[in-house]
Structure 1
Amino acid sequence: MGTTAETAPVDRAELETKVKQMYRAVALEPTGHYHFKMGRGLAEQLGYPPALLDQLPAGAVDSFAGVGYFFDLAGLAAGEKVLDLGSGSGMDVFAAAVMVGGTGEVVGLDITPEQLEKAEKLRAEADFPQVRFVPGHIETIPLSDASFDCVISNGVINLSPEKHAVFREAARVLRPGGRLAVADIVSERPLTQKIVCNTELWASCIGGAAQTDDYQQMITDCGFTLESVRQNDYEFISDSARAASTRYGVISVSLLARR
C-alpha cells in the first residue's frame, strides 16, 4: 500500500485529546463554528429523509456531524442488532433504532464522555429502550464476537490512526454475512506529512484521511467483500479545510461491505 495516515507519525495521545475536545464542543455547542457543517440542514443535504429526522430526538439531530448517508445501503430490518462506531450524540443510533424497531437492538460506542452523556439523556427522554450507549475505542471494541448484524459509522474511522484495527474489530463483532455500512472521509492523493502530523486537521476529519484505494484494501484485507461505493455531496467550510480538500482530493464516500 502507499503512504497513508495508517502509518503516520501522529502523536496519538495528543490526537485523542484533540478529538475529545472537538466533539465535546460539538455535543455542548452545536451552533459553534467548526471546520464542518452540522445539524439538520447537513443531514438533509446528505440524503436523510425529513420524515426519518422528524422521528429522532432534536438534540441528536442538532449535534449531527456526519459526512454521508448510508442507511439505504445498510438495508436494516426489524429485529436486527446494530453497532455504531463513534456514535456521538446518537442521531444515527436513533435512526437505526427506528428501522430495527422494538425487537431490535442498537449500541452506540464513543470515547467522548459529554457525547455519551448527552446521547443517554436523549435516549431516556425519547424512550428508546432498544438503544444503549457504551464508552470505548473503535480499535478495541468492548463487545462480544459475532453479536451484530450490521456495523455502521459516520465520519469517524478517518479519525483513527489504526484503521486496519477498526475494520478487523468490525469483522470480529459481525455475524457471518453481516454488513459494514459507513460514510467516511478519504483522499484521492497522498497527504503531506505536515498535514498528517497536524492533530487539529485530524480532529477535523482531514489529516487522517487514507487514500481511497488503501482504505478499501484495508476493508477487504479484514475479510469483507466490498459491494458498493459512492461519493457524497459533502464539503468542508473553513478555509484551511477547504484548501486541503481541494489540493489532495479529500472527499466523502459511503460504502457497503459484507463479512
Structure 2
Amino acid sequence: MATVNALDLEEKVRALYRLVAQEPHGSYHFEMGRDLAGRLGYPADLLDRVPAGAVESFAGVGYFLDLAALGEGEYVIDLGSGSGTDSFCAAQQVAASGRVVGVDFTPAQLDKARRLAEAGGFEQVEFREGRIESLPAEDAGFDCAISNGVINLSADKERVFAEAARVLRPGGRLALADIVTEQPLTEAIVCDAGLWASCIGGAAHETTYRQAIENAGLRVKELRGNAYEFLSGQARRASARYGVKSISLLAVKPDR
C-alpha cells in the first residue's frame, strides 16, 4: 500500500499545531482544553498546578499518568510535548529533584511551552526541538517516556519506538495515549496528509501498533480503551467505519 508524502505531512502537522498553540479556541477535528483533559481522567488538582496557557492548548487523546506511576526524582522524556500540559503534569510528580525533557518540532509549540515554563518557575523542565524519530537525548537517560496523541502522526512508528527504547534505562517505562484502528485504513485515507495531521490517517491497526512496540524490545504490560471522540463529521465517519479509537498503554524495557 502507498503511504503519505512525508514532506507534505510534516508541513501540515506544523501548520495545524501552530494553530493549536496560537489559536486554542479555534475549530478543529478534535476537542481541546481543560474540559477535555478532565473527561479523559486528568485530576483537577493536578491541572490546577499546570499553567493555564498549556492546558488551553491541550489536544491529548487519553490519560496515562496513572500507568506511568512517576516518582520523585525520576527523569522523564515527553515525545511530542506540544504546549507542555503532560510535561508540566510530570514535573509536579517528579518534583524538583526530577527532570522532564519535552521534545517537539513545531516552533510555535516550543515557544509557548518555554515561555510558560519560565513564567511558572518550572526549572526542572526543558523543551528541546527535535523529532520523535530521532530524539535529541542520550542513551539510557530516562526512567519513563510519555506521549499523548502524537505517535500516530509519525510515518515511521517502528523508529519512534526504537528511539523510546534507546533513551530508556533498563526497567524504564513507556506510558502513552494514542489513536489506533480496529480495521485497516484504505489507501486513500493513508495517503491523505490532512487526515494524518488530524490524527486519523496515520492511525495504525491496534495489533500492528502493539507489535511495533514489542519489536523495539519493550513489553506491553497494560492496554485500555479511552472515552474519546472526534468532532468533525469526516473524522467521526472514519472512526465509525474503521474503528478509529483512543488507547492508553504501559510498556516496560526489560531490566537486564
TM-score normalised by the shorter chain: which range applies?
over 0.9
SS of 1:234 mapped into structure 2: coil
The one of 180, 199, 202 aligned to 1:208: 202
Segments of structure 1 that go 5 or more residues without pairing to the other structure are: 1-6
Segments of structure 2 that go 5 or more residues without pairing to the other structure are: none
Tell me the CA shift for residue 32 of structure 1: 0.1
Equivalent residue for 1:94? 88
SS of 2:174 mapped into structure 1: strand
1:189-208 matches, within 5 Å, as 189-208=183-202
SS of 1:138 mapped into structure 2: coil
Letter in 2 for 1:47: G
- Which whole-Å deviations, capped at 9, do the CAs of 1:5-53 have from their partners, x for residues lacking one? xx74210000000000000000000000000000000000000000100
The one of 245, 248, 251 aligned to 2:245: 251
1:59-98 matches, within 5 Å, as 59-98=53-92
**Residue 50 (str. 1) matches residue 44 (str. 2):** yes
Q: Quick check: 1:8–1:161 contact (8 Å CA) kept in 2?
A: no
Tell me the CA shift for residue 76 of structure 1: 0.1
SS of 1:183 mapped into structure 2: strand
CA-atom RMSD in angstroms = 0.6
Tell me the CA shift for residue 237 of structure 1: 0.4
Letter in 1 for 2:56: D
Please identify runs of 4+ aligned residues in structure 1 that moved more than 4 A: none
1:120-135 matches, within 5 Å, as 120-135=114-129
Q: Provide the TM-score with structure 1 as the length reference.
A: 0.97
CA–CA distance in structure 2, aligned partners of residues 8 and 183 of structure 1 = 26
SS of 1:9 mapped into structure 2: coil
Q: Count matched residues.
A: 253
The one of 4, 22, 29 aligned to 2:16: 22
Equivalent residue for 1:4? none
SS of 1:243 mapped into structure 2: helix
SS of 1:68 mapped into structure 2: coil
Tell me the CA shift for residue 81 of structure 1: 0.2
Equivalent residue for 2:145? 151
CA–CA distance in structure 1, aligned partners of residues 219 and 194 of structure 2 = 33
CA–CA distance in structure 2, aligned partners of residues 8 and 133 of structure 1 = 34
Percent identity of equivalent pairs: 61
- Which whole-Å deviations, capped at 9, do the CAs of 1:158-210 have from their partners, x for residues lacking one? 00000000000000000000000000000000000000001110000000000
The one of 113, 137, 149 aligned to 1:119: 113
Q: Provide the TM-score with structure 2 as the length reference.
A: 0.98
The one of 219, 224, 236 aligned to 1:225: 219
The one of 163, 166, 170 aligned to 2:160: 166
SS of 2:103 mapped into structure 1: strand
CA–CA distance in structure 2, aligned partners of residues 204 and 192 of structure 1 = 16
